[in-house]
Amino acid sequence: MTRQIAQQCHRLVVKIGTSSLILPSGKVNLQTIDRLAYALAALANTGHEVVLVTSGAIGVGMATRHLTKRPASIPEQQALAAVGQSELMRLYGQRFGDYGAAIGQLLLTHDVFDYPVSKQHVLDTISALLRGGVIPVINENDSVAVDEMDHRTTFGDNDQLSALVATQIDANLLVVLSDIDGLYERDPRTHPDAQLIPELSYLSARVKAGASGAGSRFGTGGMVTKLAAAQTMLQAGKEMVLCSGADPRVVLQVVAGAAVGTWFKQEEDQ
């Protein structure tokens, strides 16, 4: 079975989570970064406009500082993010460069999208990068983002950020690379017989109730945040595929229309 998304997928956003970028040992997964760079460079070479939303700053910071436990205090986490973001971009720059692809970094806070002028500047920057054949690499600015009083700066998670970016830049598709290969009717980690849901056009209360579990010790996301991202995409009339990030080259299969992961798509009008 194939999906009819390839012809429509001129512009797409790919989101990769910390759990895909960091090994269980706490070290950086260099193979994943290399395969991600290969896949996105290959798409760019065939005329697709690609935006990468990446997590991993704190996880890479922990690896760089040889830490196995995420610190509890906000200043310590933000310091790790500052260290990790620099190293993460160094690795991305190296690997994307190996495949002849140029990248540009954008670190965002939520209030950038809350104010029309700053929002337009960000969208104009992304558009200019894409026109120039540069792949924007976006992350939340974890070193400064905090919620204080009514000044909202955090997105909460990069699943939400990726959906916001995808809808704002009018991307056709959001691909969320996760530590699970799609949405299941039940948690497959505790129910081995759980069945993968291949397609969804509506997020029912039952589906939402079945989403449970937090992220890894290196990250913050979970299935709840991914369903929230899917809801954002569906409401905007866009599509999202949730699939495993174990081998990011799966993005090439998704764009080719292969039936992998869970496809969130509005039903066609009858």
**What is the amino acid identity at position 70?**
R
pTM: 0.89
Q: Percent of the chain at pLDDT above 70? A: 86
C-alpha torsion sign, points 129, 133, 134, 135 = positive
Is residue 269 domain-resident?
no
| pLDDT exceeds 80 at position 153 | no
Q: What's the distance, CA 91 to chain centroid?
A: 17
Rounded distance, CA 172 to CA 236, Å? 10
CATH at 120: 3.40.1160.10
Non-local (6+) Cβ contacts of 38 within 8 A are 95, 99, 249
Find out whether 223 is annotated in a ligand binding site.
yes
Find out whether 69 is annotated in a ligand binding site.
no
What is the reported pLDDT for 156? Answer: 59
- 269: pLDDT confidence band, cut at 50, 70 and 90? low
Find out whether 89 is annotated in a ligand binding site.
no
- Residues 232-251: tens digit of each pLDDT: 999 999 999 999 999 999 99
Is residue 195 domain-resident?
yes
Cβ neighbours, 10 Å, residue 198: 14
Question: What are the two backbone dihedrals, phi and then psi, of residue 212, each rounded to the nearest 5 degrees?
Answer: -145, 170
Find out whether 124 is annotated in a ligand binding site.
no
Rounded distance, CA 90 to CA 109, Å? 21
What is the reported pLDDT for 163? Answer: 95
Mean pLDDT of 203-221: 55
Is residue 58 domain-resident?
yes
Is residue 211 domain-resident?
yes
Mean pLDDT of 138-160: 68
Q: Percent of the chain at pLDDT above 90? A: 67
| pLDDT exceeds 70 at position 217 | no
- Residues 80-132: tens digit of each pLDDT: 999 999 999 999 999 999 999 999 999 998 888 888 999 999 999 999 999 99
Burial of residue 17 (number of CB atoms within 10 Å: 0-12, 13-18, 19+)? buried
Is residue 4 domain-resident?
no
Q: State which residues form the domain around 235.
A: 11-264
Helix (H, G, I), strand (E, B) or coil at 100: coil
Buried b (16+ CB within 10 A) or exposed e, 138-169: bbbbbbebeeeeeebbbbbbbbbbbbbbbbeb
Average per-residue pLDDT for the chain:
87
Mean pLDDT of 18-24: 94
Rounded distance, CA 73 to CA 68, Å? 15
What is the reported pLDDT for 149? Answer: 37
Is residue 2 domain-resident?
no
Give the pair of three-digit tokens for residue 98.
């190996």
Find out whether 226 is annotated in a ligand binding site.
yes
Closest CA to 56 of 207, 165, 213, 177: 177
Question: Could you tell me which residue, 144 or 27, shows the higher pLDDT?
Answer: 27
- 221: pLDDT confidence band, cut at 50, 70 and 90? very low
* Residue whose tokens read 């193979």: 31
Is residue 25 domain-resident?
yes
Find out whether 118 is annotated in a ligand binding site.
no
* Number of structural domains found in the chain: 1
Find out whether 55 is annotated in a ligand binding site.
yes
Is residue 6 domain-resident?
no
| pLDDT exceeds 80 at position 270 | no
Mean pLDDT of 189-196: 83
Rounded distance, CA 89 to CA 125, Å? 18
Find out whether 158 is annotated in a ligand binding site.
yes
Find out whether 222 is annotated in a ligand binding site.
yes
| pLDDT exceeds 50 at position 31 | yes
